[in-house]
């Protein structure tokens, strides 16, 4: 047990601080404080001592220096059982600080509000992290609180344990403290990385603040949380959930995949809908209306779409909402939703509806992280957009304008399909998707079979792939994958190219009278 006799309070977030400080005073604990916190407590008639009277040194440099002083850090860092330490602090007239209550300058909020560079820099806390780390290092003797949510628990323990904190409590508080400063520094570091366009330097930090505690992870035996990394990009982290159950780990993963995919399509040019299951698209389409786009996307694989995630690139209107309400859906995510649509979908109590206020920027830079045993992999986001100027026709036959549009559409979708990825598309809609296979030939066959199944669902005599185009996320290593697509009825192909057997594949395309385009860009998505 560590006795708490003297506390230092310096908080940016004043939530609950007056009540907490009052409880400390009632318990007989002395309080020293700084700047705005001192004024807040003084105005609340709480007996508090200004830190400058302790250090005998004023705040200087516009508040940049106020707690960086030996009388503060000596009070936090001295080992109470060390005779030499105790001799020194007695000689220097340094008093112990047993409890530190600090939360940091709101750097995250400044970058969220797109503050200018100078404002962000001024909101990088120095004294706060220094004190937190000092107190956390000396946690056998000092309690450190960085989270207002801990105030009540700590007061209760102090009052119930003769003004003392338990060793386990001190250790747990230290853990949270170091995690907080690490996350804070990570957010600053990553912001500077963006500012300097240096996404992957020698040191790469990962930090975040809990956004949502999840019931479990991918499976019930796995623990999970959803963290905010402070980047403030439009998506699930900024979305408002207007109805439905709490999102699960799998919901979040799949919904993000759907949102990123549908954000590839400009709402000013065409309504777009993506239906996702297990992070892979069941169907994607553009249309003259959101309703028609949804109907086309659903047609691609209506069986897999059951219990899926639906993402839209425009406001969810009532006609589309009525269509969606006909089948079981886990999540809908859209930039906005009409009041009439809300009323229609309100009958689906468990349906989760997320409103983002906008779309993701598919060209925005970013870093993707994947953990591996003993470390993690980091790579820049796949944010390349392929347009007509990037394409090279390598066959004798040129694609028609409609084929060209469908090829570009299919390649956008393939970027978001797990490799090996094959996407059949026709008239701005996927008609067959093959994903995640160990070889490209199997992906091609699966996509063709799904096109056949989809046709049978709507009583068509021939597969939807007849007359379609096909996109491959990587090159065809052999002509067999291409010929499987030709057998399925495609008329044109888009792929990166780059195989040592490109000539064989081109020859096979020419022999089948197919148009084939190379992008020069691969979109592996493992």
Residue ranges of the chain assigned to CATH 3.40.140.20? 235-355, 384-518
Residue 497's contacts (CB-CB under 8 Å, 6 or more residues apart) are: 392, 394, 475, 518, 519, 520
CA separation, residue 157 to residues 135, 160, 169, 258 (Å)? 19, 5, 9, 46
- Is residue 33 a contact partner of residue 66, using CB atoms and an 8 Å limit? no
Query: What is the pLDDT at residue 179?
Result: 93
Query: What is the pLDDT at residue 116?
Result: 84
Q: Where are the alpha helices (DSSP H) in 3-103?
A: 17-26, 35-43, 51-55, 70-77, 83-91
Whether cis (ω within 30° of 0) applies to the bond prior to 420 is yes
pTM, to two decimals = 0.84
Q: Specify the pairing of strand 164-165 against strand 2-3.
A: antiparallel
Query: What is the pLDDT at residue 156?
Result: 92
Query: What is the pLDDT at residue 477?
Result: 86
Q: Catalytic site residues? A: 137, 278
Neighbour-count burial of 522, counting CB atoms closer than 10 A to its CB (0-12 exposed, 13-18 middle, 19+ buried): middle
Query: What is the pLDDT at residue 104?
Result: 87
* Tokens describing residue 297: 């996307």
Name the fold adopted by 235-355: Cytidine Deaminase; domain 2 (3.40.140)
pLDDT under 50: residue ranges of the chain: none
User: Does domain 2-196 match CATH 2.60.40.10?
Assistant: no
- Is residue 94 a contact partner of residue 69, using CB atoms and an 8 Å limit? no
- Nearest one of 100, 335, 354, 155 to 246, comparing CA atoms: 354
- Is residue 103 a contact partner of residue 144, using CB atoms and an 8 Å limit? no
| Cβ contacts of 268-273, under 8 Å, gap ≥ 24 | 270/428, 271/312, 271/313, 271/314, 272/312, 272/313, 272/314, 273/297, 273/310, 273/311, 273/312, 273/313
Distance of CA 263 to the CA centre of its chain: 15
The rounded distance, in Å, linking the Cα atoms of 89 and 77 is 10
Q: Which CATH class is domain 384-518?
A: alpha beta
pLDDT in tens, 450-486: 888 888 888 888 888 899 999 999 998 888 888 888 9
Element of type H or E holding 155 = helix 151-160
Residue ranges of the chain assigned to CATH 3.40.50.1380? 2-196
Query: What is the pLDDT at residue 229?
Result: 86
pLDDT in tens, 55-89: 888 877 877 777 888 889 999 999 988 989 999 88
């Amino acid at each position: 047990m560590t006795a708490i006799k003297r506390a230092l309070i310096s908080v940016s977030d004043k939530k609950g601080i007056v009540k907490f400080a009052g409880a400390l005073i009632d318990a007989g604990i002395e309080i020293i404080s700084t700047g705005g916190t001192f004024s807040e407590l003084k105005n609340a008639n709480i007996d508090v001592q200004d830190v400058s009277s302790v250090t005998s040194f004023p705040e200087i440099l516009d508040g940049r220096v106020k707690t960086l002083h030996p009388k503060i850090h000596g009070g936090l860092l001295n080992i109470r059982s060390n005779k030499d330490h105790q001799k020194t602090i007695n000689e220097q007239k340094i008093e112990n600080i047993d409890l530190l209550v600090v939360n940091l300058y709101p750097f995250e909020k400044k970058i969220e509000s797109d503050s200018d560079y100078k404002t962000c820099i001024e909101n990088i806390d120095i004294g706060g992290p220094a004190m937190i780390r000092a107190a956390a290092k000396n946690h056998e003797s000092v309690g450190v609180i960085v989270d207002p949510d801990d105030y009540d628990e700590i007061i209760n323990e102090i009052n119930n344990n003769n003004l003392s904190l338990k060793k386990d409590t001190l250790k747990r508080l230290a853990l949270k403290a170091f995690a907080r400063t690490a996350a804070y520094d990570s957010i600053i570091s990553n912001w500077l990385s963006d500012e300097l366009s240096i996404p992957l330097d020698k040191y790469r930090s990962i930090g975040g603040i809990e956004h949502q505690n999840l019931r479990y992870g991918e499976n019930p035996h796995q623990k999970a949380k959803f963290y905010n990394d402070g980047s403030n990009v439009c998506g699930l982290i900024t979305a408002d959930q207007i109805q439905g159950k709490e999102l699960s780990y799998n919901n979040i993963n799949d919904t993000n995949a759907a949102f990123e995919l549908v954000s590839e399509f400009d709402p000013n040019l065409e309504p777009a809908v993506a239906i996702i299951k297990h992070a892979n698209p069941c169907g994607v389409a553009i249309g003259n209306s959101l309703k028609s786009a949804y109907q086309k996307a659903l047609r691609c694989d209506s069986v897999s779409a059951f219990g899926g995630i639906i993402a839209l690139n425009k406001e969810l209107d009532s006609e589309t909402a009525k269509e969606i309400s006909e089948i079981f859906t886990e999540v809908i995510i859209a930039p906005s939703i009409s009041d009439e649509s809300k009323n229609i979908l309100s009958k689906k109590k468990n349906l989760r509806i997320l409103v983002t206020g906008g779309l993701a920027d598919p060209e925005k830079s970013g870093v993707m992280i994947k953990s591996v045993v003993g470390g993690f992999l980091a790579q820049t986001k796949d944010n390349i957009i392929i347009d007509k100027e990037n394409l090279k026709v390598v066959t004798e036959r040129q694609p028609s304008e409609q084929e060209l549009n469908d090829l570009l559409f299919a390649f956008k979708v393939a970027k978001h399909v797990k490799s090996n990825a094959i996407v059949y598309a026709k008239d701005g809609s996927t008609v067959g998707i093959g994903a995640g296979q160990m070889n490209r030939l199997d992906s091609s066959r699966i996509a063709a079979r799904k096109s056949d199944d989809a046709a049978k669902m709507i009583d068509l005599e021939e597969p939807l792939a007849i007359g379609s185009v096909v996109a491959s996320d990587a090159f065809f290593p052999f002509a067999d994958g291409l010929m499987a697509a030709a057998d399925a009825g495609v008329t044109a192909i888009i792929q990166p190219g780059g195989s040592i057997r490109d000539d064989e594949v081109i020859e096979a395309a020419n022999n089948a009278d197919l148009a084939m385009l190379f992008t020069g860009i691969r979109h592996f998505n493992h």
